[in-house]
Amino acid sequence: MSNTFHALAAFARLGWRETASDRFGLLARVILYSLPVLIYSAIWQATPLAGSGVSAEEATWYVMATEAIIFAPGYVFREVEEDIRTGAIEAALTRPVDYALARIAEETGGTLLRLAVLGTYGGVLAWFATGMVPFAWSALPAVWTAAGFGALLALLVQVAIGFLTVWVGNPAPAYWIWQKLVFVLGGLFLPLTLYPAWLADIGRLTPCAAILFHPASLVFDASPAAIVHVLSWQVLWLAAAAVLVAAVAGAATRRLVREGI
């Protein structure tokens, strides 16, 4: 068990170092991330929000948070797809460390670094745009934890989608459908509190909300009760996603061993 833990930690450090060395990629991601934050900040400043319960400043911080979470994992499913298509996964399956766990650990390292860069930059950007921070500094560790859980949940689902390559050849359509569901039911640009009640109720019960809305909603309420509520939903969906990845990866591995690439 300890050897597996140390191996996974090494994979995570590798992912962190690879992401850190890709400075141009990080810079490009920061630039792309800036555009929707600035655009929606301007939209919220110009849009009357009276009676909605959401101020323009809070809405700007909300979009900053959701965009940071959605940008952090990148397109992990493509990495899994490429390993399967090229046959690189065959060599990986002979390693003592499970391929899926190793891939998740490596991508987690890179995802956390991207989230740290985007979250820090986005926080400064939102502060300059709004002149305020919507939560107490004491809530910052919980906010970071919730954002990290959201990004990790998105990462796990992407890994599961990547394994669909074994059956469908091209998992991109499944990813695009999933991505659009996250955008809508997760409340990427609009908090679910501004949705019609029936749609908001559906969204809150999905993993999409655990990825985006729940962690970003701490912008509106970062009380201890709200933090416990958010983290509880995220832990629940993280456990479900872990089971999903284990099931899909296990089935894909058995098929690869039986039939080959």
Q: What confidence tens digit (pLDDT) does each residue in 134-165 have?
A: 887 888 899 999 999 999 999 999 999 999 99
Nearest to 85 by CA among 24, 176, 168: 168
Tokens of 120: 């820090």
**CA 78 to each of CA 31, 81, 84, 118: distance values in angstroms, whole numbers, following the listed order:** 22, 5, 10, 22
What pLDDT is recorded for position 261? 60
**Continuous segment of H or E residues that includes residue 171:** none
pLDDT digits (tens, 9 = 90+) for 225-259: 999 999 999 999 999 999 999 999 989 888 887 77
The mean pLDDT value for 109-123 works out to 92
Sign of the torsion angle spanned by Cα atoms 46, 150, 184, 52:
negative
3-state helix vs strand vs coil in the chain, percent to 5: 80, 0, 20
pLDDT at 83: 85
Domain boundaries, the chain: 2-259
Residue 51's pLDDT is: 54
| pLDDT value of position 54 | 74
Judge contact between 32 and 67, C-beta under 8 A: no
**pLDDT value of position 107:** 92
Q: What pLDDT does residue 1 have?
A: 63
Higher pLDDT residue, 238 or 93?
238
How far apart CA 56 and CA 43 sit, in angstroms, is 9
**Per-residue pLDDT at 113:** 94
Percent of the chain with pLDDT over 90: 48
pLDDT digits (tens, 9 = 90+) for 8-33: 888 899 889 998 998 888 888 888 88
Q: Are 33 and 67 in contact (CB under 8 A)?
A: yes
Nearest to 64 by CA among 27, 31, 45, 36: 36
Give the pLDDT of residue 49.
61
Q: What is the pLDDT of residues 211-230, one digit of tens each?
A: 999 999 998 888 999 999 99
Question: In angstroms, rounded to a whole number, what is the distance separating the alpha carbons of residues 85 and 151?
Answer: 26
